[in-house]
Amino acid sequence: MKKFFLFLLFISVSGASIAQQAGRFRINLETGPAIPKGGGIGLLFNIEPKINVADNMSVGIRFGTTALAKDVTYFNLTEDYEGEISGNISVSGTFDYFFHKEGNKLAPFIGAGFGYYALSSIEVNSDDFNSPDNFGDLEANFKWAPMIRAGIELGKFRMGAEYNFIPSSNLQNASGQVIGEAINQYFGFTLGAFIGGGRWR
């Protein structure tokens, strides 16, 4: 078992010795917790094809999905709601700048993005699930929003933090009636790796 772990360490160090090069293509895969503004918890998952436009810069398209349990604001609430279903799907253009120095295995980066978010925030009670037709009139909210992020890369591994500045959207009940406002901004921690070219020395 000890030899196996030493072998994995050798492979990781060897992989980290290859420099990132302009023109190389990669796909980032990331997941982690999401913390909504104002309280709550959630989970995010991103897939991001990218190309290195220079040795220390890359651009890409991030496809993301996030599920959140978060605080909301109600308008004239007269019913007793018991649970919230909330989430978003997004497509964003991204840019990352890397502060990598030759001979250093770590590559810190900062980045930003701008994209289109499809949002859904629904408040339900137990009776809604007994009447599936209640969900027939739900409408998605669509918003344009920026994102900023920072983190580090080591070999093909990537760790970071991001903040998504998504505007508030309508909170609906199961029949599609607007009953409040949902805050969509959230802070995310990401951990993942990438496949393809562009590893660091």
Q: Domain boundaries in the chain?
A: 2-196
Q: Does domain 2-196 have CATH number 2.40.160.20?
A: yes
Instruction: List the one residue out of 181, 183, 185, 182 whose CA is nearest residue 166.
Output: 185
Rounding to the nearest 10 degrees, give the CA dihedral for residues 147, 153, 159, 162.
Answer: -10
pTM of the predicted protein model: 0.77
Considering the chain, what is the average pLDDT of its residues? 79
pLDDT tens figures, 108-164: 999 999 999 998 877 666 555 555 555 556 777 899 999 999 999 988 899 999 999
pLDDT bucket at 7, cuts 50 / 70 / 90 = very low
